[in-house]
Amino acid sequence: MFPHFIVQGGKWLEGETRINGAKNAALKSMAASLLFKDKLVIENIPLVEDIKRMSELLENLGADIKIEGKTMIINPEKVGGKDIDPEIAKKIRASVVLTGPILAREKEVFFPHPGGCVIGKRPIDFFIEGWSAMGANIEETKSGYRIESQHMRGAEIVFKNISVTATETLMMTAVLAKGKTILKNAACEPEIPALAEFLNQCGASIKGAGTHTIEIEGTEGTLLESRGKAIKTIPDRIETGSFLVLGSLLGKPIKITECSPEDIAVPIAILEQAGVEIEKGGDWLRVTAAKRLKSVDIKTKEYPGFPTDLQSPFAVLMTQAEGECMVFETVFEGRLNYVEDLNRMGATITTCDPHRVLVRGKTELRGREIESPDIRAGLAFLIAAMTAKGESKVGNIYQIDRGYERIEERLNALGASIQRVKS
Ligand code: EPU
């Protein structure tokens, strides 16, 4: 038997919980360490499985990594590796963001087809087109891509669609290139300006991060220097939103601290429309279970729109709301594959097409045996199990551990009953 959670549903949650640093910000800071000459200190690192996989990838390339509490120190001085390990890359999609800094630093990179969550096709054409425009030679092999360029030069790159990791990767490649790069139709997720601001303090010249047009003036190969400055990982907006959903269902109330409410303004507005009362402070939120939840349509969109990573927890919430609503996933085409399991738990969800489902509520959920398909749907199942009547067994919890640190301990501290069974 593989590790799983045994969850007793129907327990109220009360107390305070602190939000961790954002996985999807910390992973990019780790990749950015390869743009540096000296050590990079990253604070507020979430100790999750994806961060461990990224550390392994960096260590394979020659980086020296130390973790002290929640601070990670990466020394890139001995980095010389050019190949991303395919076995580790299979487990983590974010391996692709390493390619930009390796290419910029080592003039060559091999990267295998990236893995990670099975939530859709997830092509890499924007990366390839971007590097081509910057003058790289690209060879596709059976196992991946070999990319080489002795002289990366700035270019104007127009993304056909908004992509978070393509924006970050090409932004990092451009930092060490020769001349100006302009990224158009770039992603605006808060992780991007947070990284750009720090890189600027260390010698980069990036303008417009956080908007759809980013301009980068390259250093022509001169590595950045942190000189002891640390990058503090911003709070995880997806974790914040997930705790808000839990609080809306089971909060008596719960207070969510060290978060950034402005980064999840749209999910908060949707919860309020559904009838949830949320008290807001500068860096905290307090949420009480709604007496009566109303159905609200959800349509995922790039930032500042409704995040695709919160789509599955919100669908669980909508099973407890009165009425009918549409959940429309516009970013990925494989991200509604969890609905059959929710139906087995008692939900009434009808699939309209690969992007849209209709949720009818309110339905009573009952404990079942379910397998986490990916990080976010895994957490959604945990929320469903906590809301359900009776006992559930949630399997494949490696997926949940990829994105949420010691989640059962934190939820149990609020009053949940979740037991991790190792085998
Ligand atoms: N796309 C292309 N070509 C490309 C790249 C992307 O067509 O070359 C398409 C994708 O197929 C998708 C759309 O563009 O339809 C947007 O995907 P994006 O590239 O923005 O996603 P990502 O960068 O691979 C990051 C997060 C995801 C998060 C999405 C959307 C990381 C490591 N991953 O993925 O996080 O869902 O942005 O916000 O930052 C998670 O943490 O569980 C997770 C999946």
Residue-wise pLDDT tens digits, 144-176: 899 999 989 999 999 999 999 999 999 999 999
Same domain membership, residue 102 and residue 57: yes
Q: What is the pLDDT of residue 123?
A: 82
- Pocket lining: 164 vs ligand 1, CB cutoff 6 Å: yes
Residue 19 pLDDT exceeds 90: yes
Spell out the alpha helix ranges (H) of 202-307: 237-250, 265-273
Residue 415 pLDDT exceeds 70: yes
pLDDT (average), residues 5-33: 98
- Pocket lining: 191 vs ligand 1, CB cutoff 6 Å: no
Q: What is the pLDDT of residue 91?
A: 86
Provide the pLDDT confidence category of residue 226 given band limits of 50, 70 and 90: very high
Same domain membership, residue 320 and residue 331: yes
Q: What is the pLDDT of residue 119?
A: 47
Q: What is the pLDDT of residue 120?
A: 55
Whether the Cβ atoms of residue 119 and residue 102 lie closer than 8 Å to each other: no
Whether the Cβ atoms of residue 327 and residue 316 lie closer than 8 Å to each other: no
Pick from 114-123, 134-143, 257-266, 339-348: least confident: 114-123
Residues 114-133: tens digit of each pLDDT = 655 554 556 888 999 999 99
Which span out of 3-17, 81-95, 99-113 was modeled with the highest average pLDDT? 3-17
Same domain membership, residue 226 and residue 118: yes
Q: What is the pLDDT of residue 361?
A: 92
Nearest atom of ligand 1 to the alpha carbon of 129? 8
- The last residue of one of the domains, among 186, 201, 232, is 232
- The last residue of one of the domains, among 211, 232, 253, is 232
Residue 420 pLDDT exceeds 90: yes
Q: DSSP assignment, residue 262?
A: G
Q: Which residues contact 140 (CB under 8 A, 6 or more apart)?
A: none
Closest CA to ligand 1's atom 18: 163
Count of structural domains within the chain: 2
Q: What is the pLDDT of residue 232?
A: 98
Domain CATH code at residue 333: 3.65.10.10
Provide the pLDDT confidence category of residue 223 given band limits of 50, 70 and 90: very high
Q: What is the pLDDT of residue 124?
A: 86
Residue 385 pLDDT exceeds 90: yes
Pick from 14-23, 87-96, 125-134: least confident: 87-96
Distance (angstroms) between ligand 1 centre and the Cα of 368 equals 30
Nearest atom of ligand 1 to the alpha carbon of 117? 44
Q: Which residues contact 355 (CB under 8 A, 6 or more apart)?
A: 328, 329, 330, 333, 336
Same domain membership, residue 133 and residue 110: yes
- Pocket lining: 242 vs ligand 1, CB cutoff 6 Å: no
Q: What is the pLDDT of residue 144?
A: 87
Task: Report the distance separating Cα 278 and Cα 96, nearest Å.
Answer: 37
Residues 26-57: tens digit of each pLDDT = 999 999 999 999 999 999 999 999 999 999 99
- Pocket lining: 123 vs ligand 1, CB cutoff 6 Å: yes
Pick from 25-39, 102-116, 211-225: least confident: 102-116
- Pocket lining: 186 vs ligand 1, CB cutoff 6 Å: no
Same domain membership, residue 239 and residue 129: no
Rounded mean pLDDT of the chain?
95
Same domain membership, residue 228 and residue 325: no
Q: What is the pLDDT of residue 115?
A: 57
Task: Report the distance separating Cα 122 and Cα 250, nearest Å.
Answer: 35
Task: Report the distance separating Cα 170 and Cα 247, nearest Å.
Answer: 38
Same domain membership, residue 365 and residue 304: yes
Query: Model pTM greater than 0.85?
Result: yes
- The last residue of one of the domains, among 204, 232, 260, is 232
Q: Which residues contact 264 (CB under 8 A, 6 or more apart)?
A: 237, 240, 241, 244, 307, 310
For residue 130, give the 3-state DSSP assignment. Answer: helix
Residues 297-349: tens digit of each pLDDT = 999 999 999 999 999 999 999 999 999 999 999 999 889 999 999 999 999 99
Q: Which residues contact 125 (CB under 8 A, 6 or more apart)?
A: none
pLDDT (average), residues 245-261: 97
Distance (angstroms) between ligand 1 centre and the Cα of 119 equals 9
Task: Report the distance separating Cα 247 and Cα 288, nearest Å.
Answer: 6
Instruction: Name residue 328's amino acid.
Output: F
Residues 338-366 as b/e (b if ≥16 CB within 10 A, e otherwise) read bbebbeebbbebeeeeebebbbbbbbebe
Same domain membership, residue 313 and residue 274: yes
Nearest atom of ligand 1 to the alpha carbon of 23? 41
Same domain membership, residue 154 and residue 138: yes
Instruction: Name residue 153's amino acid.
Output: R
Same domain membership, residue 118 and residue 212: yes
Same domain membership, residue 227 and residue 250: no
Provide the pLDDT confidence category of residue 25 given band limits of 50, 70 and 90: very high
Same domain membership, residue 214 and residue 308: no
State which residues form the domain around 175: 23-232
